Structure 1
């Protein structure tokens, strides 16, 4: 099988719901990173075989195949097609998988893997409002017969995980505080500078809170009186986009490209849709088994912080070192623009491997419906 190389990886700063990027149209958000990706890599954009973009809320300004719209909005050749995919929060990580698989199969040479979410314009609840207006459920009779009769939500899933893994609210809040601390350190040390493409005057991520504390986190009201889950231990509603260029060995030679990383191993799994958020555990195990690697062979992990219990349960079951996990903070501090997060995390991980000289990075994230992707990249 042919090799797939990542030759470019960029992202926007991640904005908050009411921040500097709140009024940026999703197509322009995506166009911004696509244009910069082509500029930085120096490839002929007409040579790109496809643009694969993850986006969860594919309605309103994000409808109509936002991958195609963003590419054209960037002023790039109309001969290049685009496709938008939805694997929930893992949408743009799946875009990276599809791009790599296209190159590995030998049927494509240059594929853009990207993702975006404009949650200020298309809130996470928008789909529910549409469903309510139509008067139909999001799940059919067969699904209801199998899993119905109980509440299905990411919030309940996070609470169930915290209970099953015997976590305390204090543990969750300590983890969240550390996420903010790491993110602030990363920003102050300029670790994100090279990967970020400034937009609307915004040059750094807006989410990290320098003034947060355990006392402030403890003062937040839980979503339900008998729950541990508060806004402080959950990812932030955000605006952001990321893009990577995946190239074949032939394209690397032809366009004189410099590979940043090799796509080493890909895995995707399904898991319990009621717990919903536990997928990174079996996904990590599957990827490591396929790669012939152990957990201690991985130099850095990016495990999406949808909720603090997700990462803590994952670390317990895999034996991963939390010191090497989300070393520059995670979504609790930096935000989680749904369909854009996979590409953003991959970009962060590649740059972190180059900063530290590590060899392997592993990325995974929980996804709606009880799923997870896992990706192992090797720094070159």
Structure 2
């Protein structure tokens, strides 16, 4: 059964401890659900399930709490998914399998790093298999792939410039749900320059190359999409993103940042298309060195990735980030009216995993 995304929304992405710091993960997710229903022309009675990814949240079934807080009613169940920073995209994949004809599933992710009370981080893998910190792992991947500091600085600068230009042009406006007094992503830096990036020192490991400027932030935010069957999308007369294929893979926990490479390849193979066929590519930019290593492994020109800026500029609210990629595809393909164009979203996961989807814009 083919499934389609017919609506996609997100909060602005806040910097931890700043604009969204007073809001819990449930607050953030609950704010997105009602506007999403309005966009899709759905009611709470049309929803069979709310599926939300989350990484370091409060515990319990966060999706159920958010659904109740959003006023969807006691009959709408919730399911919380944890695939670490791939959780938001994993929730979409899980949600697609739960869609029933004539009904909808709301799927996405949320993270409030500001209100998380978990000390440190949970293990991504048994220590004997390798469980590096993400910054350290990014440095190792960049070194192994021969990614220079100069390439990383240039990539990060492009991400900031693209995100600032997109925000100034209003290209994010239709996907954003203002919340907590915040109506714009906090992290993109209009004043970022190559000179400023070049002055920053590596911060994760001796001899490393990743800096604060070439790494994602620690962030708060939520992103959710509405999923229906393709047949129901056609009956309702809604434009959307037809889900052509998805893939979830595992790799060595020692090189987690490369997980999106085999995931993207598998999803493309299942969809029967190649990278040259893809119009919009959203890869999660955890670190510039990491995403450049992935681009090189895929023989993909980095200039094709995150055309309106990615996580280095916008931020990386871990459990939401995969869903943010899906929202970004929806805006650039569906809201832009690019009927028939294809999109790819892929994200690497701590512990050595990757998740990817391939979609087609349709009317």
**Is the TM value for this pair above 0.5?**
yes
Q: Does 1:68 align with 2:64?
A: yes
TM superposition shift of 1:108: 8.2
Range with greater deviation from structure 2 (271-280 or 220-229): 220-229
State the partner residue of 2:357.
375
After superposition, give the CA deviation of every residue in 1:228-251 in whole Å (9 maximum; x if it has no partner).
Answer: 111111101111101101001454
Q: What is the alpha-carbon distance in structure 2 between the residues aligned to residue 249 and residue 172 of structure 1?
A: 40
Q: Which residue of 2 aligns with 1:134?
A: none
| Gap change, CA 1:218 and 1:356, over 3 Å in 2 | farther
User: For 1:128, what is the secondary structure of its paired residue?
Assistant: coil
Look up the SS of the partner of 1:120 in the other structure: coil
- Listed as ranges, the matches of 1:240-319 within 5 Å are 240-252=221-233, 256=236, 258-319=238-299
The answer for the alignment partner of 1:121 in structure 2 is 115
Please say if 1:176 is aligned against 2:168. no
Q: Name the residue aligned to 1:362.
A: 344
Structure 1 residue 356 displacement after superposition:
6.7
Question: Measured at CA, do residues 54 and 20 of structure 1 come closer, stay the same or move farther in structure 2, by a change above 3 Å?
Answer: same
2:47 corresponding residue in structure 1: 48
Aligned counterpart for 1:158 among listed residues 138, 147, 159: 138
| 2: CA distance, partners of 1:201 / 1:257 | 34
Alignment of 1:136-215 (within 5 A): 138=123, 143-145=126-128, 147=129, 152-215=132-195
Q: What is the CA distance between 1:253 and its match in structure 2? A: 5.8
CA distance in 2, matches of 1:206, 1:366: 23
Q: Quote the residue 2:83 is aligned against.
A: 87
Does structure 1 retain, via aligned residues, the 8 Å contact 2:6–2:241? Answer: yes
Supply the distance in 1 between the matched residues of 2:353 and 2:155 (Cα, whole angstroms).
23
CA contact (8 A) 1:364 1:373 kept: yes
Residue 17 (structure 1) aligned with residue 16 (structure 2): yes
SS at match of 1:375: strand
Alpha-carbon distance in 2 for matches of 1:65, 1:271: 28
> Could you say what the CA RMSD is over the residues aligned between the two structures, in angstroms?
1.9
19-28 vs 324-333, greater mean Cα deviation: 19-28
User: Deviation string for 1:336-374 (max 9, x for gaps)?
Assistant: 100011111101111111327260000001101110001
C-alpha distance in 2 between matches for 1:179 and 1:252: 34
Distance (whole Å) between structure 2 residues aligned to residue 287 and residue 252 of structure 1: 23
Q: What is the aligned counterpart of 1:331 among 298, 305, 311?
A: 311
Matched, 1:29 2:21: no
| 8 A contact 2:102–2:232 mirrored in 1 | no
The 8 Å contact of residues 7 and 257 in structure 1, kept in 2 or not, is answered as no
Q: Give the drift of 1:112.
A: 0.9
Tell me: CA distance 1:292–1:4, structure 2 relative to 1, closer, same or farther (3 Å).
same
Distance 1:314 1:96 in 2: 23
Distance 1:352 1:249, change over 3 A: closer
- Counterpart position of 2:322: 342
CA contact (8 A) 2:281 2:304 kept: yes
Distance 1:139 1:374 in 2: 19
Structure 2 residue ranges without an equivalent (≥5): none
CA–CA distance in structure 1, aligned partners of residues 268 and 257 of structure 2? 19
* Contact map agreement 1:272 1:278 (CA 8 A) in 2: no
TM-score normalised to the size of structure 1? 0.90
Distance 2:357 2:103 in 1: 20
